[in-house]
A = this chain, B = another copy of it.
Amino acid sequence: MLRRVDAEQSVAELMADIGRKARAAAQPLSIAPPDQKTAALLAMADAIDRRSAEILTANKRDMANGLEAGMAASLLDRLKLDDKRIAGISESIRTIAELKDPVGDIIAEWDRPNGLHIERVRTPLGVIGVIYESRPNVTADAGALCLKSGNAVILRGGSDSIHSSNAICEALLEGLEVSGLPKDAIQLVPTTDRAAVGEMLKGLGGNLDVIIPRGGKSLVARVQSEARVPVFAHLEGLCHLYIDASADLAMARKIAVNAKMRRTGVCGSAETLLVDRLIAPSHLVPLLEDLRAAGCEIRGDSAVTELFADAKRATDEDWSTEYLDAIISVKLVDGIGGAIGHINHYSSHHTEAVIAEDLHVVERFFNEIDSAILLHNASTQFADGGEFGMGAEIGIATGKMHARGPVGVEQLTSFKYRVRGNGQTRP
């Protein structure tokens, strides 16, 4: 499927053609019966398993190219596939196959005094563009989630994983074919030319309804600033954990370590710990000792460094840094008001948690902070579609439009109104 872009066809023409094909596929896909989409997904998973040798061969080629190009070890690890990872990919597709089909769901319905019955029902969005870095599994996850939600998808993977992504995509296409769905429902951009991304950001002449970037901050920042179509994404997860004076100390200690250290590289990892000044004398040292014992570097304001000598002094930059590493910034604040003020100023509106027994504090935290996910007495690391019960997600969005928080199959839908009458005219 890797087409060579011939000299006669510019990248702009290639992408416009992909957009037209995606739009044409979106219509039959939008009315495909749930069973047909499920069958396609199960066939895709089987094809992934059956073609695993082929996929591994393609991946070896990408890995060899990466090594030769001097790719960093962490990136090579993300790129690498093995039998276990391939089994994980097909398993993930099977999980998506089993999700409830969102299309046609009646979200709300009501009657009007004149006898009209109004239903608001879910519909696919249309054509979704996914732009991602060199993680071959995203090809399968994004393709499967978009199909389940009745959308056509245009996949633009990282150039370093092009052979792996292509081999995986071939398996997805086999699933489309055996189930009788249009093959253009899933298209992998067949060129590594960066101009292809530029064309997607311009919206492919109206044939792209939304873009989902999956990757590092620079990719997301470029997409958010240049895209002429809606974007579902978060630029960063600068998540806060606030320990109120009313907190249960044992719970706070357990959650602080989990929120920061369970996995430091995920967007739901806590980056700043705010502690109520009232309880600093008793609570701060145990909290920070636990974090230090777990291998975390502590950067505190002057009040923190006074109480905890092992803390480095935080600079202004620390309060707006997403470390994605075993580092945490720590500040004393004047109760819930101080916590809210700090969070509303520095937060990336992703996820924040409060540890408190005082429910008035919790209500203020829930009401006055405008982030996608707010948690009470639970770890910020629950910021995840799977943990929310959505089954699978394609990312977490911090925008306020349409999708916010985990983006699962429901968030990949729009809606329309169906109105049933028996001859009503408007007076």
Instruction: Give a binary string over A100-143; 1 marks a CB under 8 Å from any B CB, 0 the rest.
Output: 00001000001010001010000101100000000000000000
Nearest neighbor of A349 in chain B, beta-carbon distance: B416
Task: Evaluate contact between A373 and B126: CB separation under 8 angstroms.
Answer: no
Known interface pairs A389-B112, A401-B230; A420-B377 also in contact (CB < 8 Å): yes
Which residues 389-424 in A have Cβ within 8 Å of B in the complex?
389, 400-402, 404-405, 414-424
Task: Evaluate contact between A415 and B404: CB separation under 8 angstroms.
Answer: yes
A414: contacting residue among B210, B255, B373, B404, CB under 8 A: B404
Residue A330 lies at the interface, judged by CB distance under 8 Å to chain B: no
Nearest CB of B to A67, in Å: 34
Roughly how many angstroms separate A110 CA and B375 CA in the complex, as a whole number? Answer: 14
Q: Which DSSP category, helix, strand, loop or mixed, fits chain A's interface?
A: mixed
The stretch of A6-14, A88-96, A378-386 in contact with B is A378-386
Which residues 205-260 in A have Cβ within 8 Å of B in the complex?
209-210, 230, 248, 251, 254-255, 257-259
Task: Evaluate contact between B423 and A254: CB separation under 8 angstroms.
Answer: yes
Residue A367 lies at the interface, judged by CB distance under 8 Å to chain B: yes
Q: Size of chain A's interface in residues, with CB distance under 8 A? A: 61
Nearest neighbor of A405 in chain B, beta-carbon distance: B417
A405: contacting residue among B259, B416, B426, CB under 8 A: B416
Chain B residue numbers with a CB within 8 Å of A18 are none
Task: Evaluate contact between A378 and B423: CB separation under 8 angstroms.
Answer: yes
| Cβ-closest 3 pairs across A and B | A378-B421, A258-B425, A400-B414
